[in-house]
Copies of this chain bind each other. A is one copy, B any other.
Amino acid sequence: MTVATPEKTSPSKVSADGAAKPLDVGPRIRALREAMNLSLRDLGERTGVSAPMLSQVERGETSPTLTVASRIAAGLELSLSQLLRLDEGEGVTVVRRADRRPGGSRARGHSYALVTPSLPGQRAEVSTHSLASGIATGGPGDPPMHEPGSRETALVTGGTLRLVCAGTGYDLHEGDAVTFDADLPHHFENPGPHEARFVAVVSAGLRRS
């Protein structure tokens, strides 16, 4: 999904700004630390990072390495990716049933539609799927493999469904849900006699523009 075609994406410098964002993680760290009622030395004790270093990072005077940033995140009891999450996205967007563009083909037995706006900055893509009896996802025209690091949740809203992920099968019935790493090879099958319907949520599929 999203972008990242395994093609020659090079010809255009994606953003070229290079400088990217000022990365003002400092105030965030300070806010989190103060929210925990920790002094710089306290946090230094917990993280193994010196208090002056923490002070400089909080004020944005230096950019810590990933190792120390990871230690700081651990000391704040969150993962590094959580600590660095200061992305964006704003407002309210309604996607009408009639407006969304369907994918797949009902003739082949698998049809789906994206119900979240296809805008950058989206953190979770939600889609509805319908799978005919005996059919499996992964045919031509289906959404391609997800990008590395993404995770997926499938919630069965009708019928029975079977997830095959990394060679292992998981049978799901109506109301069941499954969460898994979406970058592993996987597909869904419909073993039952009836049509299967499910909602898929792929997270972390955001791209930059």
CB pair A180–B123 under 8 Å, yes or no, is no
Copy number in this complex?
2
Contacting A14 at CB < 8 Å: which of B10, B75, B180? Answer: B75
Contacting A116 at CB < 8 Å: which of B65, B153, B166? Answer: B153
Any chain B CB within 8 A of the CB of A42?
yes
A173 nearest in chain B by CB position: B97
A interface, CB within 8 angstroms of B? 2-4, 6-10, 13-21, 23, 25, 28, 31-32, 35-38, 42, 45-48, 63-67, 69-71, 74-97, 100, 115-117, 121-124, 126, 128, 147-149, 151, 153, 155, 157, 163, 165-166, 168, 170, 172-181, 199, 201, 203-204, 206-209
